[in-house]
Amino acid sequence: MNLPSYIKNCYSEIPNLLGYEYPWEIIIHLNQIIESIRHKLLDSEFNIKNGIAIHKSAIVENNVTLKENTIIGENSIIKSGAYIRGGVYIGKGVNIGANSEIKQSIIFNNSRIAHLNYVGNSMIGEDVNLEAGSVLANHFNEYKNKKIKVLVNGEILETNVTKFGSIVGDESRIGANAVLNPGTILNKNSIIGRLVHVDQLR
């Protein structure tokens, strides 16, 4: 799977992603990747404490919960009530809305995650907009076999993981209260309407 065909600058922004064949492998190892970035690649423009690195130009409002292995990039804004956990990389100029939860995910530059969103075990490309209340689900609660499959170029691939959300290509737009099933792969410039449920395997 050619990740730059979905997220053009993924490797130039995070060279540590090179060497992984599939994006779900990146998500599995995201804690280690972020830890390596924090120790080796960040400069003095970041304030680092308790495993959390925040660029000096970033704004983190009151009542935000940041767990260990979080990186927040230059000029990003994290609004009140957001919950960031599980290993999260937030790039430059990203806006995380109030009361959103981001879990074990990468949000690339200049993307907007509006209020009341859930993004689980996902990779969000550059200049992506998620309207309020959208959900990038990461787990099949309802199935006995919880292993996630993905559809790539008409071919179904087994991930052999039970926690994996979405790959959202650059400049995509996700409407309010849309739900993306675990394993959703969206090309660049995708548009998902409001209240739409995306299930690519059914």
Phi-psi region of 104 (alpha: psi -120 to 50; beta: other; left: phi over 0): left
- Evaluate if pTM is beyond 0.75: yes
Which residues are catalytically annotated? Answer: 115
CATH code of the domain in which 121 resides = 2.160.10.10
Q: How far apart are CA 31 and CA 194, in angstroms?
A: 32
pLDDT value of residue 41: 85
Q: What share of the chain is helix, strand, coil (3-state, %, to 5)?
A: 15, 30, 55
pLDDT value of residue 202: 77
The boundaries of the domain holding residue 51 are: 3-198
- The number of distinct structural domains making up the chain is 1
Q: Residue 140 — very low, low, confident or very high, per pLDDT cuts 50/70/90?
A: very high
Q: Mean pLDDT over residues 111-134, rounded?
A: 98
Asked whether residue 96 carries a pLDDT value surpassing 90, the answer given is yes
